[in-house]
Amino acid sequence: MKIGEEQQDAEEFLQALLSLLFKEEVRCDFSPKVSEVTVLEEEKKQEDVYFQNLHHSQFSLSSAKFPTEKKMSASMRILTSSDPPSIPLAGWIGSHLKCCKCNHVRPLKNTPFLDLPILLNYKEVDGACTLQECLQNFTSMERVNQVECWNCAIQKKITFLKKEIQFLNQAIDNLRKRNFSCPNLQKERDEFILHLNYYTSLDPDDSSLQQLHEPIDLQPEILQPIRSDAYKSLFITRLPSILCIHVQRRYYDPTKQTMQKTNQHIIFDEYLDLSKYMILKTKAPIKYQLVSVVEHTGSAFSGHYQTYRRTFSTKNNKPAWVLISDQHVQFIPSHIVFQSQAYMLFYEAI
């Protein structure tokens, strides 16, 4: 598949095609009232604040408290709206970080996606894995190294200042018991208290901490974040009308020092419940139905793409599947679709 002079695989082609459609929509000024293009470009700071205390096991969408519509940003209105977005494949992934050292939980950071990239869950016995297992791995918690934590730096400073203030208070009390005045120690203690009040007021999630300097009447000091391990989880925070799942079959083989392709089978069903992978828990299932499968045959560097598409039979108008391979189109039984080596899966909300 080509766009211009560059060769694209199916997933890259989709990304490039949607990028061109975005530009065309803006150029022709066909954008809707609440433009999805605007949403894809803006920082979702407001949503991050409202989502930071939401845990998928404790909250439901119906019970979540959202701001009034006038105070909502464009993306928040789309998030809470039942109207279909102008880009049916556009959704949001939320990243959740918790510091292993100080247990500080950062506000949820949302980023847009047009497809979900999943890794195959390798099994030595039968080789096959399920789509649900891959999605569970995608949203499961992992431990990441060397994550900058501003809260660790602030708490370390606060702990130091409290110890210094406690030591000075003890020294001042001892001197006063012996009827000695200690104006210098009192002045030093008051400066430490001023420092303590300043650091206590800081928000560890404020992006301006990177350029942080203390007030001019204090000794200038630049606060540096402390690196430590953190627990990271991903959740779907905004569902698209059509969910595209990209099965990543290419991988780097260090023994051969080149890219390889795995033909491991992934078991997928006609219906998919996404409620398990959402940041907001819902009692009712969130159902999607399979509408298309893209399959790749060949190696990591060359091959052929063909598509299986759900449609309706020309004879009795009942649901049926067709195989599309270049100009060749034919009706096929459904079991062939579910035996294919899926590269991209398209599910539609029902």
Helix (H, G, I), strand (E, B) or coil at 5: coil
Domain span holding position 180: 149-228
- Residue 164: inside a domain, yes or no? yes
Beta bridge partners of 97: 232
More confident residue, 314 or 29: 314
**Residue 266 banded pLDDT, cuts 50, 70, 90:** very high
Give pLDDT, residue 22: 64
- Residue 210: inside a domain, yes or no? yes
CA angle 23, 249, 263 (to 5 degrees): 140
Mean pLDDT of the chain: 77
Give pLDDT, residue 294: 93
Give pLDDT, residue 277: 87
pTM given for the model: 0.71
Helix (H, G, I), strand (E, B) or coil at 177: helix
- Residue 163: inside a domain, yes or no? yes
- Residue 289: inside a domain, yes or no? no
**How far, CA to CA in Å, does 59 sit from each of 224, 232, 249?**
35, 19, 35
**How far, CA to CA in Å, does 280 sit from each of 73, 112, 339?**
19, 17, 33
146-160 residue pLDDT tens: 999 999 999 999 999
- Residue 281: inside a domain, yes or no? no
Quote the CA–CA distance of 192 and 99 in Å, as a whole number: 27
- Residue 103: inside a domain, yes or no? no
- Residue 196: inside a domain, yes or no? yes
- Residue 97: inside a domain, yes or no? no
